[in-house]
Every structure is written in C-alpha cells, then in structure tokens.
Structure 1
C-alpha cells in the first residue's frame, strides 16, 4: 500500500526556506531550499501550507491547493493582539504548535533566531502577544556596526570564554550579548510567572541549543514547533 502525502509544510524564515512532508500524519525529514519557486515546481498539485516572515505573491500558488498563513486564517486559537495584520505568521504557527503539543498548559514560546521572540498562549487557547528583541548575532554585529572601536565577534564568539564579567573587550561583548539574553529570558519568565504559575517554556530556533542549559525553567526544545502548528492549522480548515 502506498503511503499518502497529505501536505507540504513550508517555513520561510529570514535566512532559509524549510519544507517538511507529512505522510500519513507523520513528519518527514526537513529539507532546506534556496528558492521558493523550486519548491512549488516540485510539489505542483500537492496541498501546501506556508508560514513566511516575508511577503509572498499569492499568484505563485497557481495550483489552487496552496494556503499562506495569516491572521485571517481559521485556526484553533484566538488571537488577542491589537494589530493582528502585523503579527508574523511564524509566531502564529509556533503558538498553535505549542497549544497542540501542550493543550492544557500556559505556554511561552521562545524562538532564538535572527530575532528573539517570546509569545504567550494560555491554557484557554488565547494568544496574548509577546516580545521581540535582537538575536545573538544581531547584537554582536550591531555593537560593531554602530561604533568605531568595538570588534565584530559574531564569527568567533564560540571560542571566547567568559563569565558574567569579561576581562577583555571581546569577553565583555560576548557577556553582554549572550548573558544579556539569558537574563532577559529569565526576567520575562519571573514576571509572567506571577500570573501564570505553571508556565511551560518551549525553546526553539537556530540558536536554541546554545542557551538550553542556562535557562531556569522547564524546557521543551521544539525544533518542529512551527511545522506542528502549520499542520494543526491545515487540519483545522
């Protein structure tokens, strides 16, 4: 018996295009692409669900079975956000994915990528908004780019060993970038836990594994949380 390809989940971020086939309800290995056109050509006629941080021309989906996620899409959570038209599809998909994985918990989804996003979806399936701040590489590049004397350590920070207080300028830059993010996340957690006492933290994104051991909370490292949300939304249609 042939396995059924149900849908192609496409996650378009700032730096990559990721596709995941869903066959008989199971996620297959994620593939990284350079061009969306190549994906659409390969999967012409196959149902497609897209989350994109970039604007996509809907005319590209001329096979009639493609769906681009936005705030108007039917979904299993409620969006409590003053400007939903500005809310990134990746944030929506990740929130839905958290709700799918942990439906009876208050979930804080932390995506450590080009930017850091922290979004809260509660146990009543309500998305409450969140926080956006510069990611690790962006912080390092910004300090070098906006000053005359500070070096860019974004390509060498893994070789820089520093505690909270650096003893060299490069160590100080590392500490401010890396430990600053740790304290930022832990501070947000402490604030939210006043109202959400059993908050579940879900860590995802390309830089997540650099921070997992230094964050003081229960963590589920969800590498496919956006895909989980996309699949849940696709089934909800």
Structure 2
C-alpha cells in the first residue's frame, strides 16, 4: 500500500507534511517548521511520529526538532553535510542513502543549491518525492549557499524522476511563482491554464500542492531551460542549458 500523506500549513507559508506507512503505522515528519501546527496535525490524524526527515538546516525547517524529539522520542535524520546545524540529529544521510519507513524504501537524493547540503527524499514505490526548498511548484529555491550550476544539476536529478511522481514542496509560493513564470514563458498555454487554476485556489485559501514531475516539466521554467520559446524570449537561443537556468534564476531574484 502507498504511504498516506497529511499536508498542512505551518508558520506563514511553510508546509508541514506527514508520511505514514499504513502497514506498520510508522510516521515520518518531513521537516519540523513549527511545534504547535505539528501537534495539532498529530491530534487530528491520530498518527504518532517515529522520525523526522530533515531536508536542510534553515530554522523554518528545524525549529521544532528538539521539542518533538523530547515529546515523542523520535529519530531525527538529516543531511551529513549539514549535521552540525541540525538540532538533535541522530542519523546522517547523503546521495544514495536509503531509509525505511516500515516497509517503505526512501531514497535520498542530494539536491544542493538552496543550501550546500540540502537533500530530497524519494519514495519510489509510493511515487512520492519530498523536495522541500529545491523544487517548488513553478519555481526553485533561492540560491543562498551555492552557484547556479549546482542547483541546475540538482534540478536535473529531480526532473529525471518518473513523470507521475507526486511532489510535495516546502512552501506555498506557487501564486508568485506563476506570475513570474508567465513573464519568461508567456506563450505556454499549459502554464496559462495552470496559473488560472492557481489564482482560483489561492482566492479560496486552498493549497496549490502537491504537484507532479510531469506538471512541472510542462510549466515550470526552472525545468524548461531547453525550451526554444523560453530561449528566444530570453535572447539565449545558443546558450548552454545551465546558462539559461542561471538567467531565469537571476530574473526571479529581481522580479
């Protein structure tokens, strides 16, 4: 059976996410942005967490680590490259590491860019990926600790996942991302239709996630560096893919 997912809001725009293996009842928290929202979700679902899968060290992803660890005696797993900055970490992971949630295999993908040690978690049997602040719906994370080629390589890894992979991200940034996406890919009909759906969802205060790899490949400019229309719009018809990505990221930073 595929994992069960519970997604909910934390802080102002973070997503809290639980993944539960129904056979064993084991439950992972994907990052721990805020204790109160997580405790409310635990009460609502009745799921008792057994681990935290940390993607990166930023405070809005680890703030509740220590309080949740003390309360539930859970295990905290996170990237080896950032272990000194992740509160309460018990086990480190890196590219190619495997973690198990009950019988569910979780594969670790190194996705640096937003931070130097960021990782994403892929559950191939359930066709789910948790990409936190690397890949957003219609966007990608700001490059705080790495140069554009590093994030480009990370996004290539995620873009290569099966198209039907369901993607859960770290923040509700999709409306702003859609408006930017239209500025660099204005003739994309699929993007226009998606942007209209996003406007309606946010007007009703509904989440825009999850998304899928396939949907991102067709509409997310940060995965569409090869697209001739985007290249023409940017005046980069003959540029390397990584150069196109870098220009898109630069424009988003200044949008």
Q: TM-score, normalised by structure 1?
A: 0.32
Of structures 1 and 2, the one with the larger relative CO (CA 8 A, separation 6+) is 1
Structure number with greater Rg is 1
